[in-house]
Amino acid sequence: MTIPETASTAASAVTTMRAMVRERYGSPSDVLRNAEVAVPTVGADEVLVRVHAAGVDRGTWHIVTGLPYPLRLAGFGVRAPKNPVVGGDLAGVVAAVGRDVTRFRVGDEVYGTGHGSFAEYARASASKLSAKPASLTFEQAAAVPVSAMTALQAVRDRGQVQPGQQVLVIRASGGVGSFAVQVAASYGAVVTGVAHTAKLDLVRRLGAKHVLDYTVDALPHRRYDVILDIGGNTPVARLRKALTRTGTLVIVGGETKGRLLGGVQRQLGATLLSPFVRQHLGTFVCKENADDLAVLAGLIDSGQVTPAVDRVLPLEAVPAALQLLVDGRLLGKLVIAVV
């Protein structure tokens, strides 16, 4: 590796690495290729991680395709992607630290989010890394960061879930949903999970007391204290009928084919309506941070949360992995083994 001027590093002569890269936005199978590229250089507050495993999530699919379009204005590159290497979630070992980093040393096992984790090395802000949960393998740990932080912030901060509350998790079998069921149960909620027929067993195993098969069951009326809506695009008016009079609706996501808004119309509508009704309706964007990674490590090491890893695939399978994800064919999370 090239020793960065600002970093104290492990001795290594490696200057290049294997990575999945792209030069333009497009379908993963069209634009992604396996290449030998330069190992990244870290800034003063960054860490270079030797990636052992990388998690696959919806955000990565959006960043590869560049859709919906406003995402390109959010710093990812308007005409072409700024960072050729894709992937965010990672688990690995610290290979170098920037000048101002005091929380980590070379050799520490870490997990969190970085810039370009589908590669042998990735740089990451020290503020978005934490010690890897001791009870997990690197592959399990890589399944956690963005999905579980989103679930935690939905349950704890936006839903403010209390013990004994009835919580409905819509699309409970995916990346965010599989963590949301477990985190809500760890907060003492009575969880009902909504999923496709084939995924109901997983949702029960994750800790849902009740399950609803959306292919046959309608949403009940006025029953849940909190609804975490992670996908499926149920109209806000219909969701409100399944909430108590002062209940809370948290819209986490929901995919449409919309290239301009990508389905955020529901989130906008709920946020605008909320001040005029007794129910609390809203949405949020996950804030990636080390404190929440540490909270999650605690929930994991105490046995309250376990990542549901559907399968582990090699680095060159990233395009196929993203296709499995968007086709909705995964039970929980998919992980890329890099080492």
Ligand X SMILES: NC(=O)c1ccc[n+]([C@@H]2O[C@H](COP(=O)([O-])OP(=O)(O)OC[C@H]3O[C@@H](n4cnc5c(N)ncnc54)[C@H](OP(=O)(O)O)[C@@H]3O)[C@@H](O)[C@H]2O)c1
Which residues contact ligand X (rule: CB under 6 A)?
Answer: 57-59, 146-147, 150, 171, 173-177, 195-196, 199, 230-231, 252-255, 284-286, 325-328
Closer residue to ligand X in complex, CB, 19/286? 286
Pairwise CA distance, residues 153 & 37, whole Å = 36
Closer residue to ligand X in complex, CB, 120/229? 229
| Nearest in space to 175 (alpha carbons), one of 71, 252, 68, 64 | 252
Residues forming beta bridges with residue 282, ordered by sequence position: 250
Pairwise CA distance, residues 86 & 118, whole Å = 6
Closer residue to ligand X in complex, CB, 81/175? 175
Closest contact distance (angstroms) between CB of 219 and ligand X is: 14
Pairwise CA distance, residues 248 & 251, whole Å = 10
Closest contact distance (angstroms) between CB of 249 and ligand X is: 13
Closest contact distance (angstroms) between CB of 146 and ligand X is: 6
Q: Which residue is nearest to ligand X (CB)?
A: 174
Q: Residue 42, exposed/middle/buried by CB under 10 A (0-12, 13-18, 19+)?
A: buried
Closer residue to ligand X in complex, CB, 59/307? 59
Closer residue to ligand X in complex, CB, 81/332? 332
Structural element, H or E, at residue 17: strand 16-21
Amino acid at 244: T
Closest contact distance (angstroms) between CB of 305 and ligand X is: 15
Closest contact distance (angstroms) between CB of 270 and ligand X is: 13
What angle do helix axes 175-186 and 290-301 make, rounded to 10 degrees?
Answer: 70
Closer residue to ligand X in complex, CB, 107/258? 258
- Residue 186 and residue 303 in contact, taking contact as beta carbons nearer than 8 Å: no
Phi and psi at 84, nearest 5°, equal -65, -25
Closer residue to ligand X in complex, CB, 101/167? 167
Task: Give all strands of the β-sheet with 224-229 in edge-to-edge order.
Answer: 210-213, 190-195, 166-170, 224-229, 243-251, 280-283
Closer residue to ligand X in complex, CB, 237/285? 285
CA angle centred on 285, ends 284 and 291, rounded to 5°: 105
Closest contact distance (angstroms) between CB of 133 and ligand X is: 20
Closest contact distance (angstroms) between CB of 134 and ligand X is: 25
Question: Going by DSSP bridges, is the β-strand pair 46-56/333-337 parallel, antiparallel, or unpaired?
Answer: antiparallel
* Three-state DSSP state, 254: coil
Closest contact distance (angstroms) between CB of 169 and ligand X is: 10
* Three-state DSSP state, 114: coil
